[in-house]
Amino acid sequence: MAFKHTLAAALVLLAAISGAISSARAETFTIVGFGDSLMAGFGLGPGEGFTDRLQAALRAKGHDVAVANAGVSGDTTSGGLARLDWSVPDGTQLVILELGANDMLRGVSPGITEKNLDEMLAKLKQRKIAVLLAGMRAAPNLGADYQNAFDAIYPKLAAKYGVPLYPFFLDGVAGQAGLRLEDGLHPNAKGVEKMVERILPTAEKAIAWAGGAS
């Protein structure tokens, strides 16, 4: 009989602990960084990528967050659209959507890029997942017409869906040799820190906008 009482008490305690853990996890604000190599952390060491550094910066500011890395090197907006549903799990509260750089580098029509991003925003809205849209800018050597059409995509879609916009994901890093890898395209560890420093206020506002408690 004593054994039965002990077992019952242990099961009750286990259930209570499990409930507490589940509750604690439920309180953590979940963010998914969805993008290409700039999000994935191309050429960087463990813990040096954008999502890791953003998570650390947000936690240092008192936010209980978990930032998952759903970046895929070489991804285009077409690739992102194809994998969006399974790359962003249920329960995600905010997606930082960063795609379009590879479209631009490949000279993909801005109309196609806009259509793909539009569909991704629509899908996330349907799932009631908040979005912080991270913009990209076209290289000037692609010509003024292409540059103007491409650069207009992000503010246009942010306004259409009523989501916060961070105008240029590489702000503070583009054109700065000391903040880039040898390929001249991707940020190094110092560059990532600069990116996180610049985007942090917008990320905090996006968390508050999405209903995240700090």
Query: Which residues participate in catalysis according to the annotation?
Result: 37, 183, 186
Amino acid, res. 145: D
CA torsion angle 54 71 87 24 (round to 10): -20
CA torsion angle 197 182 31 20 (round to 10): -90
Q: Which residue's entry shows tokens 């305690």?
A: 13
Q: Which residue's entry shows tokens 């206020």?
A: 201
In whole angstroms, what is the distance from residue 114 CA to residue 38 CA?
Answer: 19
Running DSSP on this structure, what letter comes out for residue 180? B
Q: Which two tokens stand for residue 151?
A: 């650069």
In whole angstroms, what is the distance from residue 105 CA to residue 119 CA?
Answer: 21
